[in-house]
Amino acid sequence: MISVKKSKLKRILIIILTAILIFCAVSMTATKLIYDRIFIRYDTPAQIPQALSATVQSRQECQFFSGENQLTGYYYPAAQPDNAHGLIVFVPGFHAGGDDYLQQIHQLLNYGWSVFTFDTTGTCRSQGKNQVGFSQVIPDLEAALKYVENRERFGYNELILMGHSRGAYAACCILPQTQDVTAVVSISGVNSAMEAVMQMSTNTIGPISYGNYGFLWLYQAALFGKETLNLQADDILSTGDIPVLVVHGTMDTQVPTDTCSIVSHKSSIASEKVEYLLCEAGHTELLYDADGTANDALMESIHSFLIRCVEEA
């Protein structure tokens, strides 16, 4: 009788273990499929208005490596380079290249800033069979900053980090690894890679994504390492002493103000160096006026903030 019970128990355990293994295999496969679907290569070129053709013609294109992939960067000298305030490194958002922010770059040039931007891995004119993952923006920005430093910041002392969405996250999270940054401007910023990926995943397949949370974390940790994956903007901003302007739209549905955004973690950011600017607009819409040009009011606020930071540096 005892041996029969042991035999039944053994079969039950085997069934349970088999079910667990099957669940894990299916979940890992589903995780990779979802991830690859989200982070496919992005090659959609930006529509460049005729009014900005002179701005594009004045820029200098360059190449630098992020890992094994060669990235393409763009340096825009200020409208009056001899009187420029400093250099802004602008980090694009997800599914966007450097050219997608030409309106904002043009405005910054007119304000007297020089700008360096780039296409991230797997995007537009940069190499990469796909975008790898959300955290790929961190090593890409590291590579871009290394290139800028090797070029002696194109002759400028003041270095500003600015980014939109995923780029805003990177501009904040890169701070512990940079030196002599004057200020940071975070526009529509995501707080962490995991929060961003979960938001994207739920938008793709719904709440079932939460059942795969552990597998999503493990997969990304294998890609980027635990330290990079666990970077959170609110943690870094809380301990930093560099002025930061956090801009966000109250109508943002991609990075909502109450969930995965930097502003949603405002209560955990203790630093008095962090300022907030909320706009009644959406995730990308806050960057533009009704005529499709850069949001004059927003760009003026950013410029005023940066000039104040330069004067106080």
pLDDT, tens digit (0-9, with 9 covering 90-100), for 33-70? 777 888 999 999 999 999 999 999 999 999 999 999 99
pLDDT at 211 over 70: no
pLDDT at 1 over 80: no
Report whether 244 contacts 309 (CB < 8 A). no
Length of the chain: 313
Report whether 76 contacts 55 (CB < 8 A). yes
201-210, 215-224, 284-293, 297-306: range with lowest mean pLDDT: 201-210
What is the per-residue pLDDT for 22? 64
Report whether 160 contacts 89 (CB < 8 A). yes
The more confident residue out of 34 and 255 is: 255
State mean pLDDT over 146-169: 97
Where does 60-192+231-312 sit in CATH, by number?
3.40.50.1820
Report whether 70 contacts 127 (CB < 8 A). yes
What is the per-residue pLDDT for 35? 78
The domain spans of the chain are 60-192+231-312
Quote the CA–CA distance of 164 and 77 in Å, as a whole number. Answer: 21
